[in-house]
């Protein structure tokens, strides 16, 4: 045996986490060369495997650098090391991938990095103006992957044979494009082309971009292929263009997101804090909800009647090329019909949106997995995830202990996501959406099948909501019966609390505030204003808002005036109501009020609900702010916008008796006020005070917050500011959706705690 082999040692290292498709192997290669170590690195189904051999001091330095100098898109969840026999190799190499049991995590699509943008804007670079430029630090991942491990042959890039120059970069461990699976150039990459309304190919490459830009400048709406789906795009400064988009898409008033060329252009129309700008310019490039300036050059109908604006920056090279030819911001909204998922195929645009678009800018790199744009609301304290998709999802977490079961959680019917766990891994899918159409449910089942294929996953347990009419619940009951596997149902608002606990790995008893629009309660009524004492295995409902009747059922959600009238029916006689000088009352005829009063008294088509979201509806109507709404969450936005016009610190009267939060006196006080802004501000102040009072009554418990109502920035800022002033610890979701988008995560966390440990 040589003296060298006696002094050396060899380690086998297994690295798990997000370590494929993110430049991890060339990073390892560079470290091995730096510390004069021999061996190899390869991608395996379970993660990245490394063997290094050399002197102990160099190996220790390598291990330290491995965890401290990780590539920007990588995330190490665990590093396992094993001593093995020395092999006396003379070099360090990168071996080809092998596939086995899949444990490595999928990474999400990432915006074009600065290095690629610099190359793209360099006339001397061979990828000058190339609309598909990418490297290991950026570009498509989840949207193009077919199966793991993440290799070109397993992606929609498999049909594009690399040219010699691209292959040299791809095979060079010192290149930024080493094993960048979507690598390509003008010679060997996807083809960009434009289709007219009939589907005929009319232009290619640069001329296709010029033709689409010409349509945008003339006030037309076009469809443009992004990373995870198509956008509908028009000039955001052209009121006629925006109105036409709204009319043709049948989207009367829901806010439209706007893409800007750079942060300086956003600052012209919005008030940005440093934190907001950091979010906007982050590598994920989400849509960020910011405060809109009173005077802007944007079309009035971009975000009517509210003081917020959804803004984002170009995140693909194709977007950048558009702005090279345009000097206006662009409406860039998901190409879909109401209650349907984002479209990823040209044929769907032509079949369903031919009356909307005048042209389609697309290419032949197939989108295999749809991914919408992520949406975030910054707060004084942090930020709130509203839609978790491109850039942030799939989300993966490492569990504190391995699960003994494979668990699948199906989420809610609105803002649906899926979650699954196996071994020590917990994974949440990107936003799927509302499951109110056949197309949406097909997207749900397709996403489920994809994730099962990615991870070679078949569930031992399926978890769903208790609502019997949720499509996910019906599917779960049918599937578990057919396959003879265990079914677990988790109450909706408990799942909200569990989602917050899962994000922070909490396992103790918490004081949970779960406020939202609607959820199926244990008593078979509609809950939505719940205060729970909860841990990972059980909960107790300790407070809830006094129930109100939803006159006409679902119709009341579209007509807040029905909720307002119902609140009046609870405390006034019919005669007193008819004499009230209130905007809600005036919006009905006397006969309509009499009919609705009979419905209320007899409980006809008038389910009861403890929902704080519906309480917002009632205040919206009684305060004279609006009597009908067009989209979910509009009531909260309109009330919040009005509240910003008042500086009142006053609150309305309320009581908490027998575990019920009684707000009847608040309703009486609102009916004698006429200032809409003051009503809105005092209502939010009152909700905050109720929360803080309950927190003070349970000093020994840490409060947590989840549910769609906590998308209200003003409410959240008031509560969290007060808790910080009291030095009170609290948790509110940040990295996972605070709305129904995280119901699957909460369901999974409960199943893991009760069945998987």
Beta strands 539-545; 526-534: pairing state: antiparallel
Which segments of 51-127 does DSSP mark as H helices, in order?
56-68, 114-120
pLDDT at 550: 97
How does DSSP assign 28-69, residue by residue?
Answer: HHHHHHHTT-EEEEEEETTEEEEEEEE-HHHHHHHHHHHHHS
Tell me 701's DSSP state.
S
The packing angle between helices 612-622 and 664-671, to 10°, is 20
493 with 532: CB under 8 angstroms? yes
Q: Take residue 577 and report the two structure tokens written for it.
A: 């109501």
Q: What is the mean pLDDT of residues 725-739?
A: 97
Torsion of CA 66, 70, 71, 76, to 10 degrees: 100
pLDDT band at 1 (very low <50, low <70, confident <90, very high): very low
Residue 25 has pLDDT above 90, yes or no: no
**CA-to-CA distance for 335 and 729, rounded, in angstroms?**
42
By three-state DSSP, how is residue 304 classified?
coil
pLDDT at residue 5 tops 70 = no
Residue 235 bridge partners (DSSP): 330
Q: How many CB atoms lie within 10 A of CB 559?
A: 18
CA atoms of 278 and 596, how far apart (whole Å): 50
Q: Which two tokens stand for residue 570?
A: 């609870």
- Strands 9-18 and 75-84, sheet pairing: antiparallel
The torsion defined by the Cα of 246, 247, 250 and 255, in degrees rounded to 10, comes to 20
Q: 715: number of CA atoms within 13 Å, CB side?
A: 29
Whether the CB-CB separation of 338 and 217 falls below 8 Å is answered with: no
pLDDT over threshold 80, residue 738: yes
Chain segment 65-97, per-residue pLDDT in tens: 998 999 888 889 889 999 999 998 889 998 877
Phi, psi of 608, deg, nearest 5: -95, 150
3-state SS class at 671? helix
- How far apart are alpha carbons 514 and 655 in whole angstroms? 19
Q: How far is CA 437 from CA 153, 520, 733, in A?
A: 34, 20, 29
The neighbouring-strand residues paired with 705 are 513, 732
**519 DSSP β-pair partners:** 527
Of 302 and 380, the structure prediction assigns the larger pLDDT to 302
167-200 per-position pLDDT tens digit: 999 989 889 998 899 999 999 999 999 999 999 9
Average pLDDT estimate for 670-690: 97
Q: What is the DSSP string of 379-428?
A: -SSSEEEEE--TTT-SEEEEEEEEEEEEEEE---SSSB--EEEEEEEEEE
Q: What pLDDT is attached to residue 104? A: 61
State the pLDDT at residue 477: 97
Contacts of 159 (CB under 8 A, 6+ apart): none
Phi/psi region, residue 300 (left: phi>0; alpha: psi -120 to 50; beta: rest), is alpha
- Position 4 scores a pLDDT of 46
Using one digit for the tens of pLDDT, what is the confidence trace for 239-271?
A: 999 999 999 988 999 999 999 999 999 999 999
Report which secondary-structure segment, H or E, holds 384. Answer: strand 383-387
- Report pLDDT for 266: 98
Q: Is 499 helix (H, G, I), strand (E, B) or coil?
A: helix
Q: Which of 424, 388, 390, 395 is nearest to 407 (CA)?
A: 424
CA dihedral 572, 575, 577, 580 (to 10 degrees): -120
**For residue 437, what pLDDT is reported?**
92
Retrieve residue 14's tokens: 């297994």
Please give the pLDDT value at position 99. 58
What contacts 698, CB < 8 A, 6 or more positions away?
Answer: 511, 533
Rounded mean pLDDT, 525-537: 98
For residue 322, count CB atoms less than 10 angstroms from its CB and return exposed for 0-12, middle for 13-18, buried for 19 or more: buried
Residue 422: pLDDT over 80: yes
Tokens of 245: 């988009």
Nearest-angstrom CA–CA distance, 336 and 661: 40
The least confident of 40-49, 119-128, 454-463, 654-663 is 40-49
Q: Rounded to a whole number, what is the largest CA-CA distance in the chain?
A: 104
The CA distance from 445 to 417, in Å, is: 11
Contact 611, 556 (CB under 8 A): no
Percent of the chain as helix, strand, coil, to the nearest 5: 35, 25, 40
The DSSP code for 302 is G
Distance CA 301, CA 311 (A): 15
Checking if the pLDDT of 125 tops 60, the result is: yes
> 103: pLDDT confidence band, cut at 50, 70 and 90?
low
* Count of all residues that appear for the chain in the document: 757
- pLDDT, tens digit (0-9, with 9 covering 90-100), for 325-364: 999 999 999 999 888 999 999 999 999 999 999 999 999 9
Strand partners, 609: 526, 548
Please answer whether residues 316 and 112 qualify as being in contact, where contact means their C-beta atoms are separated by less than 8 angstroms: yes
Residues 107, 430: Cα–Cα separation, whole Å: 11
Taking alpha carbons only, the member of 200, 203, 177, 199 closest to residue 188 is 177
pLDDT (average), residues 445-459: 95
Distances 493 to 53, 367, 548, 740, 742 between C-alpha atoms, Å? 53, 35, 18, 10, 11
Rounded distance between C-alpha atoms, residue 496 and residue 170, angstroms: 44
Residue 222 has pLDDT above 80, yes or no: yes
- Angle between helix 438-454 and helix 471-483 axes, rounded to 10 deg: 50
Q: Which band of pLDDT confidence, cut at 50, 70 and 90, is reported for residue 2?
A: very low
Q: Is the pLDDT of residue 20 over 80?
A: no
Mean pLDDT, residues 426-444 taken together: 95
For residue 734, the 8-state DSSP code is S
Quote the CA–CA distance of 218 and 396 in Å, as a whole number: 44
Give residue 244's pLDDT. Answer: 95
The percentage of residues in the chain with a pLDDT greater than 70, rounded to a whole number, is 98
How many degrees, rounded to 5, is the angle at CA 470 between CA 465 and CA 475? 85
Residue where the block lists tokens 């979010």: 279
| Structure-model confidence comparison of residues 21 and 234, the more confident one | 234
């Amino acid at each position: 045996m040589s003296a060298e082999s006696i002094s050396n040692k060899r380690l086998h290292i297994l690295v798990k986490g997000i370590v494929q498709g993110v430049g991890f192997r060339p990073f390892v290669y560079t470290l091995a060369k730096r510390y004069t170590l021999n061996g190899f690195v390869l991608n395996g189904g379970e993660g990245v495997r490394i063997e290094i051999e050399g002197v102990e001091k160099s190996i220790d330095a390598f291990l330290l650098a491995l965890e401290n100098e990780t590539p920007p898109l990588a995330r190490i969840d665990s590093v396992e090391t094993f001593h093995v026999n020395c092999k006396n190799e003379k070099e360090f190499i990168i071996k080809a991938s092998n596939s086995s049991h899949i444990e490595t995590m999928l990474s999400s699509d990432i915006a074009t990095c600065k290095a690629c943008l610099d190359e793209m804007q360099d006339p001397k670079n061979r990828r000058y103006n190339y609309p598909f430029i990418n490297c290991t630090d950026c570009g498509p991942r989840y949207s193009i992957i077919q199966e793991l491990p993440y290799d070109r042959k397993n992606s929609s890039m498999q049909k594009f044979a690399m040219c010699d120059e691209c292959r040299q970069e791809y095979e060079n461990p010192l290149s930024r494009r080493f094993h960048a699976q979507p690598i390509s150039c003008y010679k060997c990459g996807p083809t960009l082309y434009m289709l007219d309304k009939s589907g005929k190919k009319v232009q290619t490459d640069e001329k296709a971009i010029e033709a689409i830009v010409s349509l945008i400048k003339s006030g037309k709406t076009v469809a443009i292929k992004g990373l995870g789906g198509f956008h509908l795009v028009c000039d955001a400064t052209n009121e006629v263009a925006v109105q036409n988009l709204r009319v043709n898409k049948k989207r009367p008033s829901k806010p439209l997101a706007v893409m800007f060329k750079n942060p300086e252009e956003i600052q012209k129309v919005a008030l940005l804090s440093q934190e907001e700008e950091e979010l906007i310019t982050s590598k994920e490039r989400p849509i960020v909800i910011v405060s809109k300036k009173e005077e802007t050059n944007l079309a009035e109908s971009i975000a009517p009647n509210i003081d917020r604006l959804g803004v984002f920056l170009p995140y693909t090279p194709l977007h950048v090329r558009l702005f090279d030819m345009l000097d206006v911001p662009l409406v860039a909204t998901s190409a879909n019909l109401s209650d349907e998922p984002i479209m990823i195929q040209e044929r769907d645009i032509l079949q369903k949106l031919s009356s909307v678009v005048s042209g389609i800018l697309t290419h032949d790199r197939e989108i295999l997995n749809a991914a919408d744009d992520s949406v975030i609301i910054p707060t004084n304290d942090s930020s709130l995830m509203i839609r978790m998709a491109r850039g942030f999802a799939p989300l993966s977490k490492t569990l504190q202990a391995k699960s003994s079961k494979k668990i699948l959680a199906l989420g809610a019917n609105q803002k649906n996501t899926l979650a699954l766990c196996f071994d020590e891994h917990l994974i949440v899918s990107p936003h799927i959406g509302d499951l109110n159409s056949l197309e949406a449910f097909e997207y749900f089942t397709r996403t489920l099948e994809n994730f099962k294929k990615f991870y070679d996953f078949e569930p031992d347990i399926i978890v769903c909501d208790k609502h019997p009419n949720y499509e996910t619940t019906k599917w779960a009951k049918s599937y578990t019966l057919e396959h003879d596997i265990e079914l677990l149902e988790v109450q909706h608002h408990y799942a909200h609390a569990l989602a917050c606990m899962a994000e922070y790995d909490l396992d103790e008893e918490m004081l949970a505030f779960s406020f939202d629009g609607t959820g199926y309660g244990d008593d078979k009524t509609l809950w939505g204003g719940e205060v729970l004492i909860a841990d990972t295995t059980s909960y107790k409902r300790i407070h809830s808002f006094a129930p109100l009747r939803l006159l006409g059922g679902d119709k009341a959600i579209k007509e807040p005036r029905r909720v307002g009238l119902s609140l009046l029916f609870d405390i006034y006689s019919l005669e007193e109501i008819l004499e009230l000088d209130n905007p809600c009352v005036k919006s009905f005829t006397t006969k309509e009020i009499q009919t609705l009063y009979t419905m209320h008294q007899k409980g006809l088509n008038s389910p009861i609900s403890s929902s704080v979201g519906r309480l917002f509806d009632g205040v919206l109507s009684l305060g004279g702010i609006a009597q009908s709404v067009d989209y979910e969450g509009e009531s909260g936005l309109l009330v919040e916008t009005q509240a910003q016009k008042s500086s009142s610190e006053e609150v309305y009267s309320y009581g908490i008796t027998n575990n019920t939060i009684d707000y009847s006196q608040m309703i009486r006080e609102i009916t004698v006020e006429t200032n809409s802004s003051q009503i809105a501000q005092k209502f939010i102040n009152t909700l905050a005070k109720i929360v803080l009072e309950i927190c003070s009554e349970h000093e020994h418990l840490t409060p947590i917050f989840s549910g769609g109502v906590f998308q209200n920035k003003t409410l959240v800022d008031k509560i969290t500011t007060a808790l910080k002033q009291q030095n009170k610890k609290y948790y509110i979701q940040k990295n996972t959706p605070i709305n129904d988008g995280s119901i699957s995560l909460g369901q999974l966390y409960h199943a893991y705690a009760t069945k998987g440990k």
